[in-house]
Amino acid sequence: VDFFAVFSASMQRLQVVSRQLLSQSTTRANSTLAQRAFQSLMGANQATMISQANAIKGRKEEIKVTNKHFVTGNPIKAPFDPALDVAVFATGCFWGTEKAFWRLPGVSATAVGYIGGYTENPTYQEVCSGQTGHTEAVQVVYDQEKISFVDLLRLHWQSHDPTQGMGQGNDRGSQYRSGIYVNKPEHTAIAEASKVAYEKALKSEGKGTGELITTEIKAGETFFHAEESHQQYLAKPGNRQYCSAQPTEVQLPDFAEWAPADLKEKYAPKFPDVFWAEHGPKPLCTIAGPHSQIKWPPA
């Protein structure tokens, strides 16, 4: 038996079925999910990062989006109010990640997009091909007086399994890798310290797919907005409640245990453990709950 010929024929049949799924999809969500299946079959789920030399070049034109958050009504593009701060987080598919962050009290707006790679103003299809180096991510614009960067870090770590390398849950490829992207040296220091603390916590409880956290922490990366159809997707009519994040149920240790000494007071968390017990990520998924922001403290 010519096993190579049998394998090739099987792959061709799978590709035909995947293309049929794409052509028959009647909604953007169906098309996206079918596309992911097709790309996986075609080997687009990159286990390693593409080099800059081999990455898609991109374009100068920005992707156009409505500069108004579907839930909060606030701007999702710069310039922002000087009193607000910005950070970007990646925990896998950006649909669920975005909803988890926009619900936090003190968050002004969120936006989904692409970061950490080489292609300028990439499209969703290009990012999903694994040929841009970008990962799906969420830009979080927040009020530092109402929510601390440490609170955002806690949601980041507890809403997925950061040991899974190039992927999260069923979504595999460099475009689903975990990441934290900042623009302040202080934020880099705190993020790195939290990574060490959370890795120890995972090991002590025997949780996590891998032994080490694979989350990348970078400063000065450019965030590119994703297409309008992806923005606040889970809050819009006709959405499909898709989420492949895999929270470990491990809590980020108390800030006092791992905080850099010179930043402990400035970045003290705003939300107590009781908040996270009630509103934090739950096993298997992060998208449960209403679309509206959490009211805290409760009335």
DSSP-assigned letter for residue 175 = G
Contact 109, 143 (CB under 8 A): no
Q: Which amino acid is at 39?
A: Q
**Is residue 94 classed as helix, strand or coil in its secondary structure?**
helix
Please give the Cα distance from 190 to 272 (Å, whole number): 18
Catalytic residue of the set 93, 128, 243, 285: 93
CA distances from 275 to 93, 104, 278, 281 (A): 25, 10, 5, 11
Please give the Cα distance from 220 to 289 (Å, whole number): 33
Please give the Cα distance from 135 to 179 (Å, whole number): 8
**Is residue 113 classed as helix, strand or coil in its secondary structure?**
strand
CA distances from 180 to 14, 66, 138, 168, 228 (A): 36, 25, 10, 15, 23
Dihedral sign of CA atoms 264, 270, 273, 276 in order? negative
Cα 274 to its chain centre, rounded Å, is 25
What are the structure tokens assigned to 26, written together? 């009647």
Catalytic residue check, 128: no
Whether the upstream peptide bond of residue 237 has omega within 30° of 0, thus cis, is no
The residues that are catalytic are 93
